[in-house]
Amino acid sequence: MSKLKNIRILQNLTQEELAEQSGVSVRTIQRIETGKEPKGYTLRILSKALAVAESQLQNQETELENTTVTEEKEKPEEAILINYSTLKLINLSSIPFIILPPFNIIVPLILMITMKQKNTFTKQLISVQILWTIMAPIVFMSGIFLKLGRQFTLILIILIALSNVFIILRNALEIDRNKKLHYKLNFSLL
């Protein structure tokens, strides 16, 4: 099986969907998947559409690439293939547990491990949930210390929960549209 086909299947894309996203004809994708080597513009546009390095789509390595591969001690984390539908599922798994804060971290963490999606995107999703779980009680306690009444406290609880729902849904939408995260940290808490 060609590298293009493996990556396409991992990302749950049909040949037609990949053709639509990349602008490359279905026939060209079929030729590449049956053994033709992608080159030039086609290689660049397919790697961009799949969000992978160009070298991951090439079936044969040149001597220069072989020497660079042997010099590298470990693969960069971005080279790991990302299944975006699984990533979206891991992201959305936090929603049912917004009112039980530890579980909005534990459930995605368990899914990340069982679905073998230990990549920067998944770690960022869980890091955002960890940060939200730390910040939510701080904001809530600050609101209580202001002593503005019970109605304010109830509204504050609702706003805190809705803020997390918004973060999760906005990231899910961005994963669908652009295969990236809208809300992410510059560091990882995992």
The CATH number of whichever domain residue 32 belongs to comes to 1.10.260.40
pLDDT tens for residues 24-37?
898 988 888 888 88
User: What is the structure's pLDDT at 164?
Assistant: 92
The 10s digit of each residue's pLDDT in 118-150 is 888 888 999 999 999 999 999 999 988 888 888
- Residues 103 and 130: beta-carbon distance below 8 Å: no
Residue 96 inside a domain? The answer is yes
Closest CA to 182 of 107, 125, 104: 125
Q: Using alpha carbons, list the distances in angstroms from residue 52 to 8, 44, 71, 81, 87.
A: 11, 10, 21, 8, 16
The counts of H helices and E strands in the chain are 9, 0
Q: How many domains does the chain have?
A: 2
Instruction: Say yes or no: 66 and 125 in one domain.
Output: no
Integer-rounded Cα Rg, in Å, for the chain is: 21
The two three-digit tokens of residue 172, written as one number = 């899910």
For residue 106, give its domain range.
84-178
Asked whether residue 75 carries a pLDDT value surpassing 60, the answer given is no
- Identify whether 27 is part of a domain: yes
What backbone torsions phi and psi does residue 182 show, to the nearest 5 degrees?
A: -85, -45
The model's pLDDT over 150-170, given as tens digits with 9 standing for 90+, comes to 888 899 999 999 999 999 999
Report residue 73's pLDDT band, with 50, 70 and 90 as the boundaries: very low
Q: Is the pTM of this model over 0.75?
A: no
Check whether residue 71 and residue 129 sit in a common domain.
Answer: no
88 and 174 fall within a common domain: yes
Nearest to 190 by CA among 102, 95, 126, 103: 126
